[in-house]
């Protein structure tokens, strides 16, 4: 790595540094391999409307199965993919695959709900990102409302001026935005007015013990109230128990997502969810 050699020459030669560098290089190569060998998959997790218990959306989550190592969790490789820049290609693959899958469900005559895709803040640093998304949607003949983009608070706060232009461009064409892991970022709330946000996703760290810790219960209720006041949808992440769901129902939360309903599953397992919903709609 010539670049790190220039900046950190004396550190570069320490044994510890080179072990880390070697491991990183191996992982970086493995990510390139993964893209060209098709080792990535998208899994999908249902989002449920609390009052009706009906499916209202899906979140696409990347999965990587390395031929020798096995499953590598996204939190292990996404940060490195961001550091090395390969996240642009991975992120593009994720968007393309999510749209392709939507198209396939649509072609199969299944009920279609919006699919949420997680974005790396770096993807929004490409000026042509809105055009990329638009080309993708029109290429798949998908209504833009069927694609939702998830961003973290920290991501939108990075470059507020540019970000609001970018999001507005996408919003004008109908794309929806959610703030992921809401409540854990380090940011002011003012951006909620400046950005065209549609949905807040309450971080799972608050939901985990929402029925046991009064402070987390209070934060959860406050986020729900904030969302209502700003006319945003609000979805709780990491719902694992009936008690948590009851709490959310009493608190007036719109949506819930978590192992209580389903783990993230491959696309073919989602077809069952979609056809059940289709049947419900047909009867109306
Ligand atoms: P996230 O977007 O907040 O996704 C929610 C994570 O919580 C997922 O972990 C999901 O499997 C997990 N989860 C869902 N329900 C429950 C539950 O009831 N209990 C518990 N304990 N966990 C639950 P996963 O798939 O390992 O993803 C972790 C993070 O990696 C994601 O957090 C997201 O930030 C990132 N990520 C995943 N896929 C992508 C992607 O395609 N692109 C980018 N840029 N980031 C991704
Ligand atoms: Mg997410
Ligand atoms: Mg989250
Ligand atoms: Mg997260």
Gap from CA of 22 to ligand 4 centroid (Å): 27
Helix (H, G, I), strand (E, B) or coil at 46: strand
Full-model pTM: 0.92
Predicted ipTM > 0.90: yes
Alpha carbon nearest to ligand 1 atom 27, residue: 74
Q: Strands 40-49, 255-256: parallel, antiparallel or unpaired by DSSP?
A: antiparallel
Question: What span, in angstroms and rounded, lies between the C-alpha atoms of 254 and 157?
Answer: 26
In short, whether 259's Cβ falls inside 6 Å of ligand 1 is yes
pLDDT of 8 over the 60 cut: no
First to last CA, the chain: 62
DSSP summary character for residue 185: S
pLDDT of residue 284: 37
Task: Please name the residue ranges forming H helices in the chain.
Answer: 2-7, 9-12, 15-37, 74-84, 87-107, 129-139, 153-157, 160-172, 191-194, 204-207, 214-229, 242-251, 267-283
pLDDT in tens, 202-234: 999 999 999 999 999 999 999 999 999 999 999
Nearest CA to 67 out of 87, 40, 104, 99 is that of 40
Is the minimum distance from the CB of 78 to ligand 1 under 6 angstroms?
yes
> Which atom of ligand 1 is the closest one to the Cα of 81?
44
161 or 48, which is more confident? 48
Contact 118 CB / ligand 1 (< 6 Å): yes
Predicted confidence at residue 6, as pLDDT, reads: 47
């Amino acid at each position: 790595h010539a670049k790190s050699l220039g900046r950190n020459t004396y550190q570069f030669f320490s044994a510890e540094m080179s072990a880390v560098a070697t491991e990183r290089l191996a992982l970086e190569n493995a990510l390139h391999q993964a893209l060209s060998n098709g080792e990535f998959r998208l899994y999908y997790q249902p989002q449920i409307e609390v009052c009706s218990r009906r499916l209202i959306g899906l979140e696409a989550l990347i999965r990587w199965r390395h031929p020798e190592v096995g499953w590598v969790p996204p939190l292990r490789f996404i940060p490195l993919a961001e550091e090395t820049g390969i996240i642009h290609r991975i992120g593009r693959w994720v968007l393309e695959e999510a749209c392709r899958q939507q198209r396939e469900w649509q072609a199969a005559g299944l009920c279609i709900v919006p699919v949420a895709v997680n974005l790396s803040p770096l993807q929004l640093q490409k000026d042509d990102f809105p055009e990329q998304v638009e080309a993708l949607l029109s290429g798949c003949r998908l209504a833009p409302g069927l694609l939702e983009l998830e961003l973290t608070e920290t991501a939108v706060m990075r470059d507020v001026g540019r970000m609001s232009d970018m999001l507005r461009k996408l919003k004008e064409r109908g794309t929806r935005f959610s703030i992921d892991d809401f409540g854990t970022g380090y940011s002011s709330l003012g951006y909620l007015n400046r950005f065209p946000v549609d949905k807040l996703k309450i971080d799972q760290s608050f939901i985990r013990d929402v029925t046991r810790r009064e402070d987390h219960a209070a934060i959860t209720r406050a986020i729900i109230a904030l969302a209502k006041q700003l006319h945003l949808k609000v979805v709780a992440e990491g719902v694992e128990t009936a008690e948590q769901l009851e709490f959310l129902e009493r608190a007036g939360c719109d949506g819930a997502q978590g192992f209580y309903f389903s783990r993230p599953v491959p696309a073919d397992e989602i077809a069952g969810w979609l056809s059940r919903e289709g049947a419900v709609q047909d009867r109306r």
